[in-house]
A = this chain, B = another copy of it.
Amino acid sequence: MCEEIRQQPEAIERTLSAEWPQAEKLRREFEARKIDLVILAARGTSDNAAQFGRYLLEITTGIPVSLAAPSILTLYHSDLRMKNALVVAISQSGESTDTNAVLESARGAGALTVGITNESESALARIAEHTLLVRAGREKSVAATKTYTGQLTCLYLLAYALGAPITRDQLNRLPDWTASALRLESEINTRAERYCFMKHAVCIGRGLNYANSFEFALKLMETSYVVAERFSSADLLHGPIAMLETAFPAFLFCPPGVTWKPMSEMLGKLREIGAESLVITDESNAAVDTNHKAKSAALTIPANLSASQTSNGKDLPEDLFTPIPYIIPAQLFAAKLAEVKHLDPDRPRTLNKVTQTL
C-alpha cells in the first residue's frame, strides 16, 4: 500500500498526459449535445471519487449531478428518464456488476455514457461509449489509493470536457503538489503511534473535500478496522455530534477558501467537547495553527495549494485543486496505523479486490 501511495505523482502525470487528448475530444463532442444532468454510478472508493465529482461538476459547470442509487435499476427495474443525461460509471476494475448494469440501462434509455476505469479491457470499457482511462498501473493492495487519485484526475478532465474553465496548465501542478504531500510521511509515521488503541473516529470535510472525509474513513475501516464515521461539518451538527465525547479522535480537512469558516467553527466546537483533532491543511491556510492549538494538531502540506497560485485561477474556488494532495496524508496515516496495530494493510480480512454485488 505504501509503495502504491508513493507512485501517485507519476500516476497522475501519466494519466493527465495520456488522457488530455481524449478530454479535448469529449469537449467537442459534448458541445454538440444537450446535457441537462450528469448521473455518476460507483461503489466503494470509486463512489467517494463520484462524491468529489458531484461537487466539482456542479461548482465548475453548473450542470446538476445525481449520484445513482444502482438498486433502482438493478433491483426495482425502474424506467428512469435519462435521455438528456450523461451517465458516468466509475470502477477501478471495471467489473463491478451493478455499476455496469446502470451503464447498460442508461445506454438503453438513450443517455450518453462514459466509463472511468483502470482497466482498458474491462466490461465497463466495453459497455461505455467513451472512456477516460486511469493510468495508475496495476493496484495490488485491496485498499485503493492510486486509483482513487487517478479517478479524481479523470474527473477534472471530465469537468473540462463539460466546459469547466480549467486549463491543462493548472492540472499540471497536481503531480508536484501530490509530491509535496508525500513529504509528510515521516511526520505521519511518528504521529500515528498515538492512535494505536483508537477504536472509533470521525472524519470531517466540507464541499470539495467532503468526499475525502469518506475516503479517509474508508481507509481506516479497511486497513485498521476502526469504526470511522464521516460527516460534513453541517450534517454532524444536525444530530450525530451528540455521540462525540472527550478524546473522541476527529480528522478534519481544512483547505483554504469558502469551507474554512464552517470548518473553523467545527474545530471550536470539538475543542469545547474535548474531542481531539488532527487537521490536514497546507501553507495557504495559516489560520489553522494559530487559532486552534489546544487539543488539536495539524499536518501541513509544505506548499501553497490555493487555486490563485495557478496561472489564471482567480475566478476558481481557492480549494479547487486541494482534494488530490489532501488525501495523501490520510492514505499514509491509514497505512501506518495498520502497521502500528500489527495488521497487514494490503490484505484486510473479509475483502477481495473485485467486489460484485446485486
Contact = CB atoms under 8 A, between A and B. Distances in A.
A344 to B, nearest CB: 12
Contacts of A273: 350
Most B CB contacts (10 A, CB to CB) among A75, A80, A237 go to A75
Interface string A79-97: 1111011000000000000
Given A80-B64, A227-B229, A245-B225, A262 B72 contact: no
A221 B234 contact: no
A317 B233 CA distance: 36
A278 B218 CA distance: 24
A227 B242 contact: no
Interface stretch (A15-23, A35-43, A133-141, A285-293): A35-43
Contacts of A222: 239-240, 242-243
Given A36-B37, A58-B78, A261-B358, 12 more contacts: A37-B64, A37-B66, A44-B235, A55-B72, A58-B69, A64-B66, A66-B66, A75-B207, A221-B239, A225-B243, A228-B243, A238-B355
A45 B225 contact: no
A313 to B, nearest CB: 14
Nearest to A241: B350
B238 A357 contact: yes
A300 to B, nearest CB: 23
Contacts of A71: 55, 206-207, 210, 232, 234, 258-259
Contact of A72 (B59, B66, B69, B241): B59
Contacts of A229: 227, 229
Nearest to A242: B348
A234 B70 CA distance: 10
B62 A80 contact: yes
Interface residues of A, number: 72
B235 A43 contact: yes
Copies assembled: 2
A119 interface: no
A349 B269 CA distance: 13
Interface in A228-258: 228-229, 232-235, 237-245, 258
A162 to B, nearest CB: 12
Contacts of A64: 37, 39, 66, 80-82, 85
Interface in A30-52: 36-37, 39, 43-45, 47
8 residue pairs, one from A and one from B, having the closest CB atoms: A44-B238, A234-B357, A66-B66, A75-B258, A242-B348, A221-B243, A262-B358, A225-B243
Interface in A252-283: 258-259, 261-262, 265, 273
A227 B200 contact: yes
A138 to B, nearest CB: 19
Nearest to A96: B238
